[in-house]
């Protein structure tokens, strides 16, 4: 199911108030920072990059700041999110290091030439995809990466233990109710809760071990976990430099 204007949850109130995410999920900006840090350690020189679900540009800025040689195409399906991102990163666009694209993620990935990218990055985007859509997107990422290329993904990876995941989900919702009540924004609470439960459905939830196994089955190796706290996880998957015979 493509993340078009009809399917993308970040086209209405959530896109207009997206910065609220840092209040209910403080690890979101932390993961964005860690994306940049990881890339700066792993990649030097000129880097051709592609970002999926750039949102308002939080992770985009982290990537560009950490990797001076990075030229980045940053994609999102939400015009409202991209409007904010363009305003936030106008200097990077003017410098020629950054280009924003409004498009469906999978359609854009399919259009990429084989082995054309050094880096594909994403932060808090792929958990929004339906499982079949996400599986195909991961396959297209592998195809588009050069040998030795890196896919780095900061996102919500559900706990393998269902009972532990349920307990964590309940604690998350309690935190949200307290936060939004304190901010006097119960209108946004409704929107976020609806979105949250959509991500938890069986055809969409991204569970940690199966997700990493899926990447491995596509050919990524090695696959590293650079950070994990609750569901918030940084996964780095490499396309091997040498093709298997």
What is the per-residue pLDDT across 113-168, written as a single tens digit (0 to 9) for each? 999 999 999 999 999 999 999 999 999 999 999 999 999 999 999 999 999 999 99
The whole-number pLDDT of residue 195 equals 80
**Residue 202 in this model has a pLDDT that exceeds 80:** yes
Domain with 130 in it: 13-238
pTM for the predicted model, two decimal places: 0.88
Sheet holding 117-123, edge to edge: 98-102, 70-76, 47-52, 117-123, 145-156, 232-238, 223-229
Kindly report the CATH number assigned to the domain that includes residue 197. Answer: 3.40.50.150
Q: What is the mean pLDDT of the chain?
A: 89
Residue 23's pLDDT band (cuts 50, 70, 90): low
Is the pLDDT reported for residue 215 higher than 90?
yes
Q: Which of 58, 27, 29 is nearest to 168 (CA)?
A: 27
* Neighbouring-strand partners of residue 74: 51, 100
Domain tally, the chain: 1
| 206: region left, alpha or beta (phi > 0 left; psi from -120 to 50 alpha) | beta
245, part of any domain: no
Phi-psi region of 148 (alpha: psi -120 to 50; beta: other; left: phi over 0): left
Read off the pLDDT band of 187 (50, 70, 90): confident
């Amino acid at each position: 199911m493509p993340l078009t204007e009809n399917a993308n949850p970040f086209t209405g109130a959530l896109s207009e108030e997206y910065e609220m995410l840092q209040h209910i999920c403080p690890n979101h900006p932390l993961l964005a920072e860690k994306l940049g840090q990881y890339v700066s350690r792993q990649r030097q020189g000129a880097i051709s990059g592609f970002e999926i679900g750039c949102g308002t540009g939080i992770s985009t800025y982290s990537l560009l700041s950490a990797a001076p040689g990075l030229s980045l195409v940053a994609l999102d399906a939400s015009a409202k999110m991209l409007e904010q991102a363009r305003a936030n990163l106008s200097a990077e666009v003017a410098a020629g290091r950054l280009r924003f694209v409004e498009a469906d993620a999978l359609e854009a990935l399919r259009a990429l030439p084989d082995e054309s990218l050094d880096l594909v990055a994403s932060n808090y985007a792929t958990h929004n995809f339906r499982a079949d859509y996400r599986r195909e997107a991961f396959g297209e990422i592998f195809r588009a990466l050069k040998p030795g290329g890196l896919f780095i993904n900061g996102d919500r990876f559900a706990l393998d233990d269902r009972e532990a995941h349920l307990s964590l989900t309940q604690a998350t919702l309690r935190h949200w109710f307290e936060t939004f009540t304190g901010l006097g924004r119960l209108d946004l609470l409704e929107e976020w809760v609806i979105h949250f439960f959509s991500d938890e459905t069986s055809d969409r939830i991204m569970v940690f071990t199966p997700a990493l196994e899926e990447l491995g089955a596509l050919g990524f190796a090695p696959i590293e976990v650079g950070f994990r706290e609750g569901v918030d996880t940084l996964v780095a998957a490499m396309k091997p430099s040498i093709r298997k015979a």
